[in-house]
Structure 1
């Protein structure tokens, strides 16, 4: 064990992250239940261990140096691994067979995630399973920090294959949906020009899909509709149920909800480039049996549903 390993403590990692998060010694001290003088001594001790300054005091508060930013990255991973180890050990101590933490992009939190969980739990009832639903960017951060073992989301072009492994589950386009009682649902033929006269639930502004959609509409001389930006399946379906709004959904999700009588998928082409839905994990993390089995459950659920209109499965 090196002198660095002998001296660095878990509390040191918590101190560095708290200061970086709050940008203030006083606020970090409150969060950590320490005095400000005690926190100052702690950061001085940590800087002696790592051999350089971690923070600079500026008019905007405490700002991380390049060394501090690197320390924060490693602290997040180390503390995330400790949290995972604690969860896993607690599960085994309680008679379970380990644990698995899965993150899911919110638009896929119904199908296929819920069905995959049912399949996995049926085959592995003694694995402690935790599900975290949210936005792709935050979930990637949690995956990097070790808080998640696996992520279900679209495999964006920016995903570095040298850092992440992935299994493509589905090539999935984007469709436009409405309530079954909506006037457009009763029309035999629907054009995109008909749809833009109604308000939409779409991706938030500056989202890649939103910008691509708006560029396509303008290029074809089509009016850009009024939009509410949201990437929440629950919110979208609730707004659709109100009877007025149209909503952009993944084709696979739209087809599933339509089969349940919850909405109507409109026969219009949005002409968007959408990355495939994939199971994603970090290369340096162990490829556990739980992770492999959950990925297999996702694959089986997607395969059983069949490809959505305009898409096909990839394994």
Structure 2
């Protein structure tokens, strides 16, 4: 049986988009034209590939069997085109990626630089936000990759297990914070301070809760909650609040000279970071380029 590559690309587009209408928009086709093409593919394979539902298109057993082969054939054709385009300096496309603030401050910029050095005609769109915003971005196709803390999988979002790395987090305060006068302090000493942190359920909040619980301590009372990294940094740097900051962001802020870690005895707060994708569909080629660069980059970074 021979396959029409264009029909397979349409098949994969419907799987990725979840509906005929969204796939037609992505492919810049009318729905009837896309429907006719899929009908011809179904006639070629000898059965229905999709079940039509009010909420979208679902694969039949025959469609599920075809999917890995269709993805493989499309991927090989795409890679061939990209290699030829790269030789001619013509590789194009948009990388749509989201990241929590700490990743956006170091690892992601390094990965973007590496990709654009190799593929200068690619373009990058970056969304920075807390995890629930990134999940929304993945599910609505605003982004194709999300970079956040591990353990945040859901029905629609899956971790990419071979792209993960680790760093440390710190309790931070302004340079003139009163706790600095004590020298070494305990984690319990910070419970009396005004904390500024991201909301309940976000990665930093959960990491703080886990770290304090491991020390046999309750969660600190959060005086100010905000999803804005800029607001949180301002409260810590200039208003006497205590906060929580991961290694990459902490390195940047400490070099600026206004925020630094408190000397908390025995504090060791590692976290694991992971790339995530939608469970359904295939990654676009530009996103795969960034993912490969992240794998290379984080594989060369020392674990904390």
TM score, norm. by length of structure 2: 0.59
Q: Alpha carbon RMSD of aligned pairs, Å?
A: 4.1
1:109 aligns with one of 104, 107, 112:
104
* Residue 139 (structure 2) aligns with: 144
SS of 2:257's partner is: coil
- The Cα shift of 1:150 comes to 1.3
Alpha-carbon distance in 2 for matches of 1:208, 1:195: 20
SS in 2 for 1:148: coil
State the Cα distance separating 1:236 from its structure 2 match: 2.0
The answer to whether structure 1 residue 292 and structure 2 residue 288 are counterparts is yes
| 1:172-218 Cα deviation digits (max 9, x unpaired) | 34321112232334542122232222211123135576467558469
**Quick one: distance in 2 between partners of 1:187 and 1:122?**
48
Residue equivalent to 2:249: 253
List gaps (5 residues or longer) in structure 1: 15-66, 75-94
In the alignment, which of 195, 198, 222 is matched to residue 193 of structure 2?
198
Which of 256, 263, 275 lines up with 1:279 in the alignment? 275
- 2:168 is the counterpart of 1:181: no
Report the number of matched residues. Answer: 229
SS across alignment from 2:249: helix
The 1:103/1:185 distance shift into structure 2, 3 A limit, reads same
Distance 2:222 2:293 in 1: 39
- Check whether the contact 1:213–1:270 (CA below 8 A) recurs between aligned residues: no
- What TM-score, normalized by structure 1, do the two folds share? 0.57
In structure 2, relative to structure 1, the CA distance for the partners of 1:147 and 1:113 (3 Å cut) is same
Equivalent in the alignment of 1:87: none
Match among 226, 230, 236 for residue 234 of structure 1 = 230
Matched residues in 2 for 1:207 and 1:286: separation?
A: 27
Deviation at 1:169? 2.9
Distance 1:303 1:164 in 2: 17
2:123 aligned to which of 120, 128, 146:
128
- 1:155–1:212 CA distance, 2 compared to 1 (3 A): closer
3-state SS, counterpart of residue 167 of structure 1: strand
In structure 2, C-alpha distance between the alignment counterparts of 1:73 and 1:227, rounded to whole Å: 47
Secondary structure of 2:124's partner?
strand
SS at match of 2:276: strand
Q: 1:25-174 maps to which residues of 2 (within 5 A)?
A: 70-71=55-56, 97-159=92-154, 163-174=158-169
Q: Is the Cα contact below 8 Å between 2:194 and 2:241 reproduced in 1?
A: yes
Between the aligned partners of 1:73 and 1:139, the Cα distance in structure 2 is 25
Greater percentage in strand: 2
Contact 1:166 1:281 in 2 (8 A): no
| Equivalent position SS for 1:190 | coil
Distance 1:182 1:173 in 2: 22
After superposition, the Cα gap between the structure-2 partners of 1:73 and 1:263, relative to the gap in structure 1 and judged at 3 Å, is farther
TM-aligned CA deviation for residue 220 of structure 1: 3.9
Compared CA separation, residues 105 and 214, structure 1 to 2 (3 A):
closer
